Amino acid sequence: MDNRERQLAGIRNGWWLVRAGPRALAAAVTLALTPAAVLAADAVPSSLYARILEVREQSRFVPDKALTQLLKLQAEAVDAPPATQAELLTQLTMANMRAGHSDAALAAADQLIAYGQSLRDNAIIAKGQMVKSFVLFDRADVKAAHQLSFDAEKTAANSSNLALRSQIAVAVGDTYAAQGNFPAALVKLQNGVDMARQVNDDPVILVGALNELVGLYTQMKDYDKASAALEELLTETEKLRSPGRMAAAKITEYGLAIDSGQPKRALRALLQSLDLERKLGAERMMGVTLVNLSDSYLKEHDYPRAAQYATESLRSTQLTNDKSVEATARVNLGQAYLGMGRVAEGKKQYEAGMARYEQENNKPDLQSALREYGEALERSGDLGGAVSAYHRERKLSNELFEKQRRQAVLELQEKYETEKKQRQIQLLSQENQVKGAEIDNRRLQQRVWWLLALVFALASVVVGLLYRKVRHANAQLEVKNLELKAQSTLDPLTSLYNRRHFQDFMRDSLHAGLPVLDKRTLHGDDIVGALFLLDVDHFKHINDRHGHAAGDAVLRMIAENLRVVLRETDMIVRWGGEEFLAFLPALPRHGVDEVARRILAGISSQVIRYQDQELSVNVSVGFSPFPLAPAGAPLPWERAVNLVDMALYLAKAHGRNRAYGLRGFHNFQHTSMEQIEQDLEGAWRAGFVDLSVVFGSEQEQRLAELNNVVPLKRAPEPAKTTPH
């Protein structure tokens, strides 16, 4: 289940908030400011306070009607007790936000915080900080929203109000989950659930906390615990006899079902939720449920039904001004149109949806949408558009990888600095001990000369022990450094080298003048190096249909097969996602195509047994000799990899399960590397580059020759060479 699907399921953000961000916000909206959270300020609630609480539940599902009633109650609240005025401001904030009036919601939240500060009431201030964080999140100011949830926790730290502390604990837990810190998130959410079980006068708090705990377990792939928490959630929700709460619980059930590979259960939960929402007239909830339904039918390739539900979702989200759900509905509608052959309409809707992801800086969802966009365009026959979408996705993927790499470096640096400071503290402590021993020795020398020999003996023992301790500490440090080096070099899933190791290897090899740049390869000799870049065909379909564990098994199979097909001296790299790169430092020039053929045949011949099912996959490959030297000047290895990547995209665009190889360049004085990199296929057709194709099977080769689909030079039959 990808990021966009998880958001649609409501696992991270609840049914009314879809964009990426802290589940804390949605959780707090579900839980926030229930009667027990404010009754502590008024021993006996006024009739006005009771009427506000009656409107509160309506606000969750039909906010426009609730807002009208709350505005009528404002005049009566002028002289009301503090808890009543605070609750009115709280509900005005939430109703305005749910109705799409962001500025009015933010003003009400600020007024609530100012009111609490004027009374020096930390409970009211904390509530104000919480609801303001909801509004900031709705305005896509995620960083500020995160910070306010942490501020609310500090403000309410000493409060005796158990209900409020439970709500804030869940909110902070969801914020940690949004930041990827799952251990801290789990501690906070479990604490929030434990406290909610002790709030006997308001079961809504427990329902909201359990909802978020199910979502976190689902994110962590702990489906057994998620199912147990969901069972308790459904039981507690049933006790409330609230159609709106049950609809929200069914959305959570959908999220767990779709993530754990239960599509029928997921569809049933969605339809049950939609029926409840329509009876309530809960337009905002319906927008999300409808877009989830369209996504479910897209997976079944039922494009007319997917388009129907996406169109209904668009109408609903435009009524509620929910831009994030509208963006996802447009992406789904675009994919359905492309599947139905309505290419121009499909592209228009797809681009409109992705524009919103770009506005929100939601790069993970944008990357997923671009990949699906390219596949949909390819199926519809728009190969040029597909290649363009793949290039956009590749560029974004590289940006995300670079960001992750920088974060990893910073984390390693921070860990190194921490260990360094600890070692310095230990050394200072040892130095102080030695100095203390020396002072004692001087005193002993002055007082008792006859104990001098004994003191020196004791000092020697102490120094020896200290020396052994330091040596032992240094040995442990060396072991840890070796472990860290191994972790930073190998991919944990496949035990292949990772991308960073390959980059370091190429940089160091070029700097040291190692055989990577053997001059024989620049003058047409028979021995060359080679680069191979391969990508698993339709890998997303395996994850969608069989789950991520099956996808991991496929990646491990490919890694083992590459170890068999290639030599021990060849470098095999997990390049990222479902991509692998192989660098062969030396092989006969006429054997490059044969290696590509072995890779294709070796992987496609493997069968993986997974949960009583047999899976098989194909790969697409791009390759070239290395180094590439147009006009006699070798290209940097980065540009060579980029050209191989473009050859890989040609292999995908022309049918998959094949390899495209770049042999060399012609008439280079009439073109430039920049022009070739912009359009490799166009450069080949213009005669500037020489490409070869290796098919995954003889049947595909004969079919291509018969139909003249790929008029490229066929790879030569394998020569009798040393086994590779």
Report DSSP letters for 640-673, one per residue. Answer: HHHHHHHHHHHHHHTTSSEEEEEEEESSGGGS-H
Q: Report the alpha-carbon distance of residue 410 to residue 683 in Å, rounded.
A: 42
3-state SS assignment for residue 679: coil
Q: Report the alpha-carbon distance of residue 101 to residue 640 in Å, rounded.
A: 53
Number of domains in the chain: 3
Residue type, 702: R
Residue 309 belongs to some domain of the structure? no
Do residues 529 and 678 both lie within one domain?
yes
Q: Report the alpha-carbon distance of residue 247 to residue 233 in Å, rounded.
A: 12
Q: Which domain holds residue 580?
A: 497-714
Cα 632-633-637 angle, rounded to 5 deg: 130
Residue 332 belongs to some domain of the structure? no
Residue 88 belongs to some domain of the structure? yes
Residue 451 belongs to some domain of the structure? yes
Do residues 175 and 115 both lie within one domain?
yes
Do residues 456 and 545 both lie within one domain?
no
Q: Report the alpha-carbon distance of residue 586 to residue 525 in Å, rounded.
A: 11
Residue 458 belongs to some domain of the structure? yes
Residue 277 belongs to some domain of the structure? no
Do residues 453 and 485 both lie within one domain?
yes
Residue type, 251: I
Cβ 52 vs Cβ 73: under 8 Å: yes
Q: What is the pLDDT of residue 66?
A: 84
**Final residue in a domain of this structure, among 467, 489, 511:** 489
Residue 411 belongs to some domain of the structure? yes
pTM here?
0.49
* Phi then psi dihedrals of residue 659, to 5 deg: -125, 135
CATH number of 159's domain: 1.25.40.10
CA neighbours closer than 13 Å in the CB half-sphere of residue 121:
19
**Which of 669, 523, 505 lies closest to 585 in space, CA to CA?**
505
Residue 482 belongs to some domain of the structure? yes
Cα 249-253-257 angle, rounded to 5 deg: 170
Cβ 333 vs Cβ 311: under 8 Å: yes
Report DSSP letters for 486-531, one per residue. Answer: HHHHB-TTT-SEEHHHHHHHHHHHHHHT-GGG-GGGGTT-SEEEEE
CATH number of 519's domain: 3.30.70.270
Do residues 704 and 620 both lie within one domain?
yes
**Final residue in a domain of this structure, among 207, 240, 260:** 207
Q: What is the pLDDT of residue 488?
A: 74
Do residues 536 and 669 both lie within one domain?
yes
691 beta partners? 662
Do residues 433 and 405 both lie within one domain?
yes
Q: What is the pLDDT of residue 714?
A: 39
**Final residue in a domain of this structure, among 144, 173, 207:** 207
Residue 579 DSSP code = E
Cβ 39 vs Cβ 83: under 8 Å: yes
Give 10-residue mean pLDDT values along the chain (724 residues): 38 32 32 40 60 78 84 85 89 88 92 92 90 86 88 89 88 86 91 90 87 92 92 91 87 90 89 88 86 89 91 88 87 91 90 84 79 86 83 79 59 68 80 79 76 74 77 70 68 91 85 51 68 94 90 92 91 92 92 93 90 89 91 86 93 92 87 86 88 82 59 43 39
**Which of 610, 608, 641, 617 lies closest to 627 in space, CA to CA?**
641
User: Which are the contacts of 256, defined by CB distance < 8 A and separation ≥ 6?
Assistant: 11, 214, 218, 223, 226, 227, 230
Residue 720 DSSP code = -
User: Which are the contacts of 569, defined by CB distance < 8 A and separation ≥ 6?
Assistant: 585, 586
Do residues 97 and 113 both lie within one domain?
yes
Do residues 470 and 600 both lie within one domain?
no
Q: Report the alpha-carbon distance of residue 90 to residue 111 in Å, rounded.
A: 10
Tokens of 157: 């730290």
Do residues 452 and 501 both lie within one domain?
no
Do residues 41 and 124 both lie within one domain?
yes
Do residues 552 and 603 both lie within one domain?
yes
3-state SS assignment for residue 606: coil
